[in-house]
Structures are given as C-alpha cells and as structure tokens.
Amino acid sequence: MKNKLLYFLFISSLLCSTLQAKNDLYEKIDLFGEVLENIKKEYVDEVDQTKMMDSAINGVLQSLDPYSAYMSPELFKEMQTDTRGEFGGLGIEIGMESGVIKVISPIDDTPAARAGIKAGDYIVKIGDEQVQGKSLIEAVKLMRGPVGTSIDLTVMRKNIKKPLEFKIVRQIIEVQSVSSRAVGKDKNLGYIRLKSFNENSDKQFLKSVKNLEKKFNVKGYVLDLRNNPGGLLTQAINITDFFLDDGEIVSTKGRKISETRKFFARRGDATKGKPIIVLINNGSASASEIFAGALKDHKRAIIVGENSFGKGSVQSIIPLGNGGGMRLTISKYYLPSGKSISEVGVTPDILVEEEGDNFQINSDKDNQLNYAIKLFNS
C-alpha cells in the first residue's frame, strides 16, 4: 500500500510540473502577443509587422547559439540559387558573437586575406549598413555581389581603438586546399598547409606527403591549419586517419540517435610515425579543431600557436512550410578525450603568438612557423 501511495504521489507531482510548464509557456505566448499589440498601437513609427515577426523568429534561433538562424522565403531561395560565375565573394568565414559579425578566418589568397582582414576581427559596417542587429545570413547577402565590384568593410580589431576600413574587390573564390614544400636548413622537414577540408583534400594531402617523401629526406612534418575555417567532417576524419594506427578520432552527439556517432582510425600511418607539429590560431575552426584535437589527445603531435576558434557543432538546413528555411544546430563534436570543442577550442601545447605588424603566414616574417622549425632542431 505504501509503495502504491508513493507511486501515486510521484505521478501526481510529474503531472503538476508538466501542467505548470505548459501554463508558463502559454503565459509567455500571451505576453508576446500583448507586446506586439502595444508596438502596433503605441510605437512612434509605423512598423512592418511581417519584418518584425521575421526578426522575432530569427531572435529565437540566435538565442540558441551563433550558428542557428532563420531565412525568409526570399533569402532562402537566393541562398539556394547557384550563382557561380555571376557573384563573387571576399574569402572570409564569419560567425556571430553577442549579436556582432565576427571573422572566423580569412582564406589564403583571397581578396579579404590580401586586404588585411584577420581572424577575430569584428565587422561593424558593410558598405553604409550597420551590421548590429542583422543576422549572419543577411550579412553574407550584403557581402555578395557581382565579380569585380568592391565593398567597404569597417572592422574593430582587438587592442586597436579606432575602427579599420578596408575596400575589397569581390572575386570568384576557388580554394586550392593543400600546398606543400620542404623547409628547414637541410630541407628535411615537410611543410604542408591545409587551407580547408573540401572534397579532394585527403587525396591532395596524401599526394603532398608522397611527393615530399620521394624528393627529400623528410624527418618530420609541420602541418599548418592556421586560418583554416573547416569544411567536410569526412575529410577531417580521413586526413587525421593518415597519422593514427587506431583509436577514436571524433564523436558527434545529438538528440537523434542518427546524429550520435563515433569515428575510429584504421590501421596504418602514412608517415610511419615521424614527428609532427601542428600550427593553429584563432582562425582554425571546426574540422581543423577535430584534426588538431585528435592528434593532441593521442599524443601524436605537438600543437603550436594560439587557441583555436571553438566551433564544435554541426548545422542542418531545414526547409519551412512558408518557403523559407532555418539553419539549426543538430549535434556537437567531441574529441577522443570526451571534451567538447564548442566555445573552448583546442589549446596549443606551446603558445606562440603572432609577432610584428608585418606578420604573414608561410613567409620569412612567420615567427610561428620559424619556431616550429627550430623546435625540430632543438
């Protein structure tokens, strides 16, 4: 009898809490309707209620994380249209932070990188338009345009009080994801720069390793993932697998069973266990962080540079009934150690910050690369 009473009380408590949660939700919906009605009646200017509702929907999504967003039917259709050959870009990967557009990374050999845009810059104006309050997708739309036309970007940069202005000419962005060369005094180190994880990155990467091994007496590798904004998860797994004989590479966890998976290395190390240094910075994001984090956790590489960006989530585009769409985070990445990358990133084993105003990746002024080369010879 006592057990039955306890069970009844438990069920009653559960039902009460569920009903209370529903009542709280309905009260909030009523409150939202009241706010809209007061805006309609009392606000100083006449308001386009359709646009206001779009902003409200987008606000709900952006309150979840910086990568979820709403697209109106017009914007969704435009984003779905293949504009190759007509529209150009600037060559930057962007994200949201506290309602402001933040540069995740400029891509090598693109207009933005050549103009001097840096990872961590905050874009405050695009042309004459203030960015504050705009969605990520709206900002992308503003930056797109016909090839050969220019756009002015105004950015705020850490440790610089005045805003910086850049005039950038749009181009078709074609990224050759892998480049390589021999470095070091005796040309006995393989330097491989991985700019993104696209469809053919793993093949290009393995080809670079084979060419370096064939032409030089390579004793170790410097793998450069600085300003690499990420790309395809499958490519990150394949390239990480080159350096591991076994063990977990990455796992994803979501609410759906289909989004909860683990990925493991297959037997065989393409470099036969040669020492590796991985270079990262604030512009290394997503797939780059999976690669660097997995090699760090397996103690397969020394990570040098600056803390990575901290984008450890997967987004899906979901069409909506009105013809619009939403970009929604559906799962998160976890390193072999079980740690999440989200908002934390990968911490380097050795912190080496950029030095000097003339710093340029993969040049004589690249103090981070120079440090990595010296580390092999120490």
List the catalytic residues. 286, 297, 311
Distance CA 42, CA 35 (A): 10
Closest CA to 72 of 321, 328, 324, 327: 324
Task: Compute and round to an integer the Cα radius of gyration of the chain.
Answer: 24
CA distance 50 to 56: 10
Residue 266: strand pairing partners? none
CB-based burial label for 299 (10 Å; 0-12, 13-18, 19+) = exposed
Nearest to 296 by CA among 266, 332, 267, 337: 337
Distance from C-alpha of 201 to C-alpha of 220, rounded to nearest angstrom: 20
What span, in angstroms and rounded, lies between the C-alpha atoms of 99 and 136? 9
Question: What residues contact residue 25 under an 8 Å CB cut-off, 6+ apart?
Answer: none
Taking the C-alpha atoms of residue 333 and residue 340, their distance in angstroms, rounded to an integer, is 6
Contacts (Cβ under 8 Å, ≥6 apart) of 153: 90, 117, 123, 125, 126, 143, 165, 166, 168
Indicate the residue type of 247: G
Distances (CA, A) of 267 to 241, 246, 247, 248, 249: 8, 6, 9, 12, 13
Question: Would you call 6 exposed, middle or buried from its count of C-beta atoms within 10 A (0-12, 13-18, 19+)?
Answer: exposed
